[in-house]
Chains A and B, each alone.
Chain A
């Protein structure tokens, strides 16, 4: 067996170059804008990169796993409160065991609690499919929202200010450029992780289950376990994004985990093209920049935004990636 016909050399693929250019632009443009006296745009891009990271995590289960989770903003919130609560206690006392400014502890809590929440809710949600799954993940997300609202010690509805950012040796997240660099490198790392996962045996099993679950079972695969693990990985990464978001905004409130936030995250994934590695990054970019643009035009920016959303679903099936590939096949005809 020698002449195994394999498709090789991804660098010839146009998507490879589009992705590379996008990632290079993200590395260069925001710092240049910042240095040339436009700190506002660095803020926009920091938010963009953090949400792109969260959307990439969601893409692992939504795009590659075919599991429409509508509760992922909860993990952003859990991650952010994993910074806010220890910082609150180290300033105002109480809960000595977690009261700390230590960034590694914050990351550990953000990722650990998110993974645990994903495990518990995923174990129940994944027993269902389709609409049930959508609504159940939504309800569990909202459960965390209400739980935080009810925790009046930590500001409840009014939110919580993070007075001191997570502390790390050598670097300070108080410097906006450092924070952006950390977020950007985190995004690269997460993209690499998701890339490797989707090409691993685990990832292929996950995609097989998306494509044809009955067939996977008849091949002897218990899909539930794989989907649950993917759900946990996705939640944990999203929790890490929440850790970054907390350090970026320094003000956190239950509003950031409202179900409409989950909807926005999902929309980023679909807009960019699900099951396409950098789709969520493009989706987040279009989403954030469009939002910024429309905000400047009208305070009622949600109206044109909503209309665009509906139109994109009606006429733009498959997201940006889908549109590009349709365009290509149209040209080839």
Chain B
């Protein structure tokens, strides 16, 4: 096996994992604290990508666009929370699912009306567009390194926010006992709105990080949202630590499965059969992993304390 190729695949897996973490962090926070299921989280990811694409065209600078796109996506999340989501906290999960499903239809169509049905690519500035030689013979794109760095920084920031600030204390308390936090006299509504907007900003960050590689496109959120669900199911719904570990696990397994499963299968079956079976199995790999983990631990790897 080619070790430098393996190294690159490992980095790719990590990059996917980081993106999944950015998405699942917001989702698992919203669920853990507000007990709210948000299917339209993927649409915020898409909005982040499109907003960044437009701003890049407008300002000519990807970096500036990215810095503006994050708060703008958070603002979109804020508006969504105030207009729709807020009315639904006291309702059954089924209502959350249906209403946010409606939100997806609206947001995807709005995006199509604004940006058109075709995707928009984001050109990278020269200093990010190059490649770096990590060590002899192993060359990786600079931007991928940036994704991983930014993602890890965001993860560290989230860790500090949740574990070492007053807001974080409220977030953690809210996740384990909602009524208690309300009884403490904390303005729970503002906390919820803030957490929702924070999740939206993180989703937007993930979206704008992907856009230069894969371009911003309608429906990009609907594909990744399911993988994100798999991440938080495996990690244990409401658990930040679980989301981080599961995101990296899923990112690595998915990437490595797609690259190496056919080689692995060729060891035990004819190469023709392996070439048919491997893509199908590797596409199903993370779901099979989820099934196995759930069969052993129905609440996921790190179940949040109270549920």
Interface residues of chain A, those whose CB is within 8 Å of chain B, are: 68, 70, 121, 124-125, 127-128, 130-132, 134-136, 138-140, 142-143, 146-147, 149-153, 258-260, 263, 266-267, 270, 300, 302-303, 305-310, 313-314, 317
Contact = CB atoms under 8 A, between A and B. Distances in A.
Identify the interface centre among A68, A134, A143: most chain B CB within 10 Å of its CB: A143
Given A263-B101, A302-B108, A128 B294 contact: yes
A306 B103 contact: yes
A308 B101 CA distance: 11
A4 B229 CA distance: 51
A134 B31 CA distance: 13
B237 interface: yes
A153 B276 CA distance: 8
Contact of B294 (A124, A263, A306): A124
Interface stretch (B109-117, B130-138, B161-169): B109-117
A314 B99 contact: yes
B299 interface: yes
Interface string B258-295: 00000000000000000010011011100110110011
Contacts of A132: 233, 237, 298-300
Interface residues of B, number: 45
Contact of A313 (B98, B283, B287): B98
Contacts of B84: 310, 314
Contacts of A258: 222
B291 A124 contact: yes
Identify the interface centre among A70, A136, A310, A314: most chain B CB within 10 Å of its CB: A310
A147 B286 CA distance: 12
A99 to B, nearest CB: 17
B113 A150 contact: no
B128 interface: no
Contact of B290 (A131, A136, A300): A136
A142 B98 contact: no
Contact of B295 (A124, A308, A310): A124
A139 B230 contact: yes
Contact of A147 (B93, B105, B283, B299): B283
Given A139-B287, A260-B101, A270-B94, 17 more contacts: A68-B94, A124-B294, A127-B295, A131-B37, A132-B233, A135-B233, A142-B287, A143-B284, A151-B276, A263-B98, A270-B98, A303-B106, A303-B113, A305-B102, A305-B105, A306-B105, A313-B95
A314 B97 contact: no
B222 A260 contact: yes
Interface string B79-96: 000001001100001110
